[in-house]
């Protein structure tokens, strides 16, 4: 079993030994470190933190531990209960809170859970802030409040509704045309909180909803990562019900993927491409995604007269570059839509509303829409290395070998060839190098990945 402590939070498997898994003691230790950081960072008389969770089986236990730790530090808690990651992000500034915690392990299997940490803007902490919390967690110097200064927990069940209202109020979300389109949609909520939020949003937009795995009980009916090989039931349901398309989200509802009317994947990478195409057609500007995302976003951005730039992998890195470049939309190729007019966080609710607005305007099927975009194919592989191997040295050899190509080295090594690209980056948690490629055909993408697996093996001597 596993406990992973990183700058973005703490995640691990439930049960087992302290310090090796996400046990109650580890949850309390890390929550206390976050509470101490909030006090150091904000320097006020009163503090408030918003806390919400996905539907994982362990969620209520971990949330109670976290909330009671915070009130033990004299921090007030707004308890959203079952919620989504973007809903908590939206709630933090609405509550004028000092931070937020989301209890979710995103697309990890049901035995995992995690504490995702937000600042007072409802955005993920940066590397420096995350490192400070790790330092506080190991110092064991947290002070707790006396009995007269304990915080209070306030329950607020309204925020999914408030989040939906915020989405519907976005100027580019065209409610009336969507209602008039009479869409029929199958929603796979993977038995988590997407099964609450996405159908509610769709019903407010006049969409007929067919629910699949929308009971928020935490028993994931398939691998919760929204990839083609996990979604055969959704494909069958779309065809059976003669639906216009299918929607699937991950357990905390920050990743979004679509399935066309024939039961074929629209392509997780193309969620952002389609939403950006719509936004850029109304509000021209620039875009950002991470280095491992499809080149199609660059093509669509340039078609609308904008400039595209890639960030290092990781939502906080994408957001940082988005702010620097003042972009109108950005995100990650894993189906993460970040729309600054709403907030700086991946948000499947925003993505659904923008996609429906585009589809209502185009008056075409989802498969026809997909055919309007450049066709790229990706390969995602990895090579396992021995723990004692110097991974940085291996990547440096590749960098030197391809120094005459277009290189980006802010996150591993990315080589942009004229017709395709490869991105090599080391894992932060295990001795592997991830190999992402993209090309004009699947065979070409796979061949490029295999070529670099061979090169890396030769360099590493394995």
CATH 3.40.120.10 placement within the chain = 3-157, 177-370
pLDDT for position 4: 79
Name the 3-class secondary structure at 53.
strand
DSSP state of 458: H
Is residue 1 scored above 60 in pLDDT?
Answer: no
Residue 7's pLDDT band (boundaries 50, 70, 90)? Answer: low
pLDDT for position 429: 58
- Told to judge if 357 belongs to the known catalytic residues of this protein, a careful annotator would answer no
pLDDT for position 364: 97
CATH 3.30.310.50 placement within the chain = 377-460
- The correct answer on CATH 3.40.120.10 for the domain covering 3-157 is yes
Residue 160's pLDDT band (boundaries 50, 70, 90)? Answer: very high
**Cα 409 from chain centroid (whole Å):** 23
Lowest pLDDT segment from 115-119, 346-350, 385-389: 385-389
Question: Looking at the domain that runs over 177-370, which CATH code has it been given?
Answer: 3.40.120.10
Mean pLDDT over 263-274 rounds to 95
Lowest pLDDT segment from 118-132, 157-171, 287-301, 377-391: 377-391
pLDDT for position 386: 79
273 contacts 281 by C-beta, under 8 angstroms:
no
pTM: 0.94
Distance CA 382, CA 214 (A): 33
pLDDT tens, 234-256?
Answer: 999 999 999 999 999 999 999 99
pLDDT tens, 426-450?
Answer: 876 566 899 999 999 999 999 999 9
State both tokens at 448.
């490029």
Question: Looking at the domain that runs over 377-460, which CATH code has it been given?
Answer: 3.30.310.50
Annotated catalytic residue, options 8, 106, 192, 311: 106
Query: pLDDT averaged over the chain?
Result: 94
State both tokens at 95.
């509550």
pLDDT for position 121: 97
pLDDT for position 156: 98
98 contacts 40 by C-beta, under 8 angstroms:
no
Lowest pLDDT segment from 41-55, 221-235, 293-307: 221-235
In sequence order, what are the residues at sequence separation of 6 or more whose Cβ sits closer than 8 angstroms to the Cβ of residue 385? 391, 394, 431, 432, 433, 460, 462
pLDDT tens, 362-416?
Answer: 999 999 999 999 999 999 898 987 777 888 899 999 999 999 999 999 999 999 9
pLDDT tens, 162-198?
Answer: 999 999 999 999 999 999 999 999 999 999 999 999 9
pLDDT for position 8: 66
Residue percentage of the chain with pLDDT more than 90: 87
């Amino acid at each position: 079993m596993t406990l992973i402590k990183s700058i973005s939070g703490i995640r691990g498997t439930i049960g087992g030994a302290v310090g090796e898994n996400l046990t109650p003691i580890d949850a309390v230790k890390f929550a206390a470190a976050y509470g101490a950081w909030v006090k150091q960072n904000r320097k006020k008389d009163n503090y408030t933190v918003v806390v919400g969770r996905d539907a994982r089986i362990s969620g209520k236990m971990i949330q109670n531990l976290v909330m009671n730790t915070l009130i033990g530090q004299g921090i007030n808690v707004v308890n959203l209960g079952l919620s989504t990651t973007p809903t908590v992000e939206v709630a933090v500034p609405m509550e004028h809170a000092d931070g937020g915690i989301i209890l979710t392990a995103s697309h990890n299997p049901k035995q995992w859970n995690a504490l995702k940490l937000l600042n007072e803007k409802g955005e993920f902490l940066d590397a420096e802030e995350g490192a400070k919390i790790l330092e506080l967690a190991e110092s064991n110097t947290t002070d707790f409040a006396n009995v007269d200064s304990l915080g209070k927990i306030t329950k607020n069940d309204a925020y999914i509704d408030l989040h939906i209202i915020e989405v519907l109020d976005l100027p580019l979300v065209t409610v009336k045309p969507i209602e008039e389109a009479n869409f029929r949609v199958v929603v796979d909520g993977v038995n988590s909180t997407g099964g609450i939020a996405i159908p509610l949003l769709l019903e407010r937009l006049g969409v007929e909803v067919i629910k699949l795995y929308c009971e928020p009980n935490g028993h994931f009916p398939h691998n919760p990562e929204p990839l083609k090989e996990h979604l055969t039931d959704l494909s069958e349901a779309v065809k059976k019900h003669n639906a216009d398309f299918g929607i699937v989200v991950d357990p905390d509802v920050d990743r979004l993927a679509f399935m066309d009317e024939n039961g074929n994947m629209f392509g997780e990478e193309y969620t952002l491409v389609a939403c950006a195409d719509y936004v850029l057609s109304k509000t021209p500007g620039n875009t950002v995604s991470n280095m491992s995302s499809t080149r199609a976003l660059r093509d669509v951005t340039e078609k609308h007269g904008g400039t595209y730039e890639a960030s290092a992998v990781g939502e906080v890195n994408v957001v940082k570059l988005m702010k620097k470049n003042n972009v109108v939309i950005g995100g990650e190729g894993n189906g993460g839509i970040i729309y600054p007019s709403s907030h700086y966080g991946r948000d499947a609710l925003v993505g659904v509303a923008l996609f429906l607005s585009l589809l209502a305007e185009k008056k075409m099927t989802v498969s026809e829409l997909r055919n309007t975009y450049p066709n790229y194919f990706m390969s995602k592989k990895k090579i396992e290395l021995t723990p004692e191997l110097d991974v940085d040295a291996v990547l440096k050899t590749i960098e030197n070998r391809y120094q005459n190509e277009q290189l980006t080295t802010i996150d591993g090594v990315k080589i942009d060839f004229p017709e395709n690209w490869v991105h090599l980056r080391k894992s932060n948690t295990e001795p592997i190098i991830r190999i992402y490629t993209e090309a004009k055909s699947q065979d070409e993408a796979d061949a490029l990945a295999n070529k670099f697996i061979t090169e890396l093996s030769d360099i590493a001597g394995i």
